Structure 1
Amino acid sequence: MSQVTTHASGEQHLVHRTGWLRAAVLGANDGIISVSSLIVGVAAAPGATASNILIAGTAALVGGALSMAAGEYVSVSSQADTEQADLAREQRELVRAPEQETAELAAIYVSRGVTPALAQQVAEEMMAHDALGAHARDELGLSDDLAARPIQAALSSAASFTVGAVIPVLIAAVAPRSMVSMAVSIAALLLLAVLGALGAKAGGARLLPAIARVTFWGAIAMGVTGLIGHAFGTAI
């Protein structure tokens, strides 16, 4: 599980949050913006009915969540296949040429500022303790925290998209037909601001820039789709 890293000195770092934080923020952000924009675009069309709007919003929620899950699963599966292929190749090299692999590990430590003699000693001890784990971590840059997990990634993306998308759909269902565009737009911008603030806090970033960028692009997306829906004059 991704956690804040705590060193013996008590110092904490936030870098291990970046994996799940990126996926959660991206999924929820996509859910809010894409579904809200579609609802606003449909609602802006003079010929659209409340039923049209609700069907479009619901279809966007379901289709978007499934699309996010499928896309993330395929992407992360490809990453997992590559990681496994690299590990298998490294395992073969460890069997075929252990001395060369020890030298490679020592060279990595030297490049990071360790003296050659100490780097060689550390490399030999790491090889004796867990050779594949040492090369996976220090040569390939792989770790358990950041390992590719396709099913987990797919479920997380679908869930975060749904969380972001469900509120605009609910608002479209209960708001008066004449107020749908405004109500969904305001709600979406508030949700995006909250999402930006949560992401900034969890990642240790500055609050205002994070809020500004997500609300700005959300407003642009809804504005453009609203203009398109109004220009075509029919439910889309």
Structure 2
Amino acid sequence: MSNTTVDLPQNKQIASRLNWLRAAVLGANDGIVSTAGIVVGVSGAAVTGHALLASGVAGVIAGALSMAAGEYVSVSTQRDTERAVVEEERQLLESDPEGELKELEELIAQKGVSNELAHAVAVQLTERDPLAAHAQWELGIDPDYLTNPWHAAFASMFSFVAGALIPLIAILVSPTHIAVGITAIAVVVALSITGWVSAVLGNAPRVPATLRNVAGGLLAMGATYWIGVLVAYLGA
């Protein structure tokens, strides 16, 4: 019987937490890269410290709100879809309970148990909570733990701000003549951490994922810096 529960969505809460953590890491990563691009680009245009601060703060606020809104809309759509398929399953249980019981038996039997045991398990699960049993086995959804758009929105917003503060603080507190270099070092360290954590959460190769993450951030900073230099040159 133990083999039948390994792949059950009863671990959905754990998977949901991992998804939130992954979203938070990606949000922090976006905050690091986008804000670094803004402040380094503005620095390349040789503007005053006040303008650099204003542009950096504006970028952090705009990016954080954008991330929150995007996550809220995306997860709300996912939640609506989950509710719709759960409601459809509820209607099927009312209209064809025998057919749904047979379908549940087949799903359980596919885990490697005998037909007799699959039938017994299906009957017991159906007697306890038919909707939860069918939603979990057939759809991979726990009706009691649907995705929460507000959780996703706030997680993305706060993680974006946390990541964005790294390049913003680095460039503001560093001496002007080495500010870009110090910011680049801070960004490389931060992106190395987020790239490594993302790879761990996604069970992907650590080193290639980290190197890609760092390379993307450096490319973004390099592009925006030289664009800022060009703008300053053309406006001189």
Q: What is the TM-score with the length of structure 1 in the denominator?
A: 0.84
**Deviation sequence 1:23-48 (CA, Å, 0-9, x none):** 111100000000011111111124x2
Task: Determine if the alignment matches structure 1 residue 61 to structure 2 residue 49.
Answer: no
1:217 corresponds in structure 2 to 216
Q: CA 1:144–1:231 in 2, change beyond 3 Å: closer, same or farther?
A: farther
Task: Determine if the alignment matches structure 1 residue 18 to structure 2 residue 18.
Answer: yes
User: How is 1:140-151 mapped onto 2 (pairs within 5 angstroms)?
Assistant: 140-143=139-142, 147-151=146-150
Unpaired segments of 5 or more residues in structure 2? 1-5, 7-13
Q: CA 1:80–1:234 in 2, change beyond 3 Å: closer, same or farther?
A: farther
Q: Which moved more, 1:201-210 or 1:61-70?
A: 201-210
Unpaired segments of 5 or more residues in structure 1? 1-5, 7-13
1:156 corresponds in structure 2 to 155
Cα distance in 2 between the residues matched to 1:234 and 1:114: 73
1:172 corresponds in structure 2 to 171
Q: Which runs of 4+ in 1 moved over 6 A?
A: none
1:3 corresponds in structure 2 to none
User: How is 1:93-104 mapped onto 2 (pairs within 5 angstroms)?
Assistant: 93-104=92-103
Task: Determine if the alignment matches structure 1 residue 41 to structure 2 residue 47.
Answer: no
- Aligned length in residues: 223
Return the offset for 1:18. Answer: 3.3
2:194 corresponds in structure 1 to 195
Letter in 1 for 2:45: A
Q: Which structure features the higher share of helix residues? A: 2
Cα distance in 2 between the residues matched to 1:34 and 1:144: 37
Q: CA 1:206–1:86 in 2, change beyond 3 Å: closer, same or farther?
A: same
* Paired residue secondary structure (2:129): helix
Letter in 1 for 2:103: E
* Paired residue secondary structure (1:153): helix
Letter in 2 for 1:39: V
Identity percentage of aligned residues: 42
Q: Which moved more, 1:17-26 or 1:73-82?
A: 17-26
Given that residues 69 and 155 in structure 1 are in contact (C-alpha distance below 8 angstroms), is that contact kept between their aligned partners in structure 2? yes
Given that residues 16 and 145 in structure 1 are in contact (C-alpha distance below 8 angstroms), is that contact kept between their aligned partners in structure 2? no
Cα distance in 1 between the residues matched to 2:72 and 2:43: 33
1:125 corresponds in structure 2 to 124
Given that residues 65 and 161 in structure 1 are in contact (C-alpha distance below 8 angstroms), is that contact kept between their aligned partners in structure 2? yes
Cα distance in 2 between the residues matched to 1:235 and 1:174: 28
Cα distance in 1 between the residues matched to 2:86 and 2:126: 15
Cα distance in 1 between the residues matched to 2:234 and 2:112: 64
RMSD value, Cα: 2.5
